[in-house]
Amino acid sequence: MRILLVADIHGNRPALEAIREPYDVALFLGDAVEYGVEPAPCIDWVRKRCAYSVRGNHDHGTAHDVPRPPVTQHGFKYLTGPTRALTRERISEADRRTLAGWPLTQFLTLDGVRIMMVHATPRDPLDEYAPPDVNFWARRLEGIDVDVICVGHTHRPYALEVGKTLVINPGSVGLQREGDPRGSYAVLSGRDYELKRFEYPVAEAVAAVEAAPLADEVKHLLTGAYRDGQLPNGKASPGPSKP
């Protein structure tokens, strides 16, 4: 069985629609919305194509209109406020119910493989930043008896063997942070996996941002991230403080 793992779409419809990977089952690991400006088709893609989904911190923030405190540093945290407001304007009440209805965790068995899905970590499903560190994950997996745990949130793809458990993060479909503008996803077959990068029409994502009612500074940061795979002038969000 080929299991497609997608995470952190962040309203980037052109990137999401560029995925051409064959699969039997698709799993969504959270954050369909915010940052990007085309949230509704991204929610609809997940709703129609993903057999199982979990809620990310940005899905939660949009669904419940969580207020953002003022942020002066013009990084990814800064972008959350204006793009949350725009996202709520561009999705329906049914879309908001979909975001709110995704659970924080999912446990399932596919083709004999026991899987846990969570956006961040079992300890803090929405917000904890999880580096590719075996010792970090060994502590988070105490008491959790699964073969594979599938996570997102970091926007950085990785896979780790932690005891008898495979930890796999497919990276971000729609917003990169490491200087590679290509989208990323993963394919899981049993305990075998592939971390994949793919090209997408970045110009379409840039054009959608440029046409959106956002401040020039917001547009500058978002379009720079799409083109370069990181914020302009090296303004990448430091790992542990990811919003």
Strand residue runs (E) in 59-208: 105-110, 113-118, 148-150, 158-162, 165-169, 183-189, 192-198
pLDDT at 6 over 80: yes
**Is 77's pLDDT higher than 90?**
no
Q: Which amino acid is at 185?
A: Y
Burial of 72 (0-12, 13-18, 19+ CB in 10 A): exposed
Question: Are 50 and 9 contacting, i.e. CB atoms less than 8 angstroms apart?
Answer: no
For 26, the enclosing helix (H) or strand (E) is: strand 25-28
Output 243 or 132, whichever has higher pLDDT. Answer: 132
| Per-residue pLDDT reduced to its tens digit, 164-179 | 999 999 999 999 999 9
CATH number of the domain that residue 156 is part of: 3.60.21.10
Cβ atoms 149, 136 nearer than 8 A: no
**What pLDDT is recorded for position 71?**
65
User: Would the pLDDT of 3 be above 70?
Assistant: yes
Give the N- to C-terminal CA distance of the chain in Å, as an integer.
34
Compute φ and ψ for 117, nearest 5 degrees: -115, 135
- pLDDT of 233 > 80? The answer is no
Boundaries of domain holding 160 = 3-241
Question: Which ranges of 116-168 would DSSP assign to H, the alpha helix?
Answer: 134-140
pLDDT at 73: 63
153 against 240, higher pLDDT: 153
Let me know: does 152 contact 102? Beta carbons within 8 Å: no
Please count the structural domains in the chain.
1
159: alpha, beta or left? (left if phi > 0; alpha if psi -120 to 50):
beta
At residue 243, the pLDDT reads 39
Amino acid occupying residue 201: P
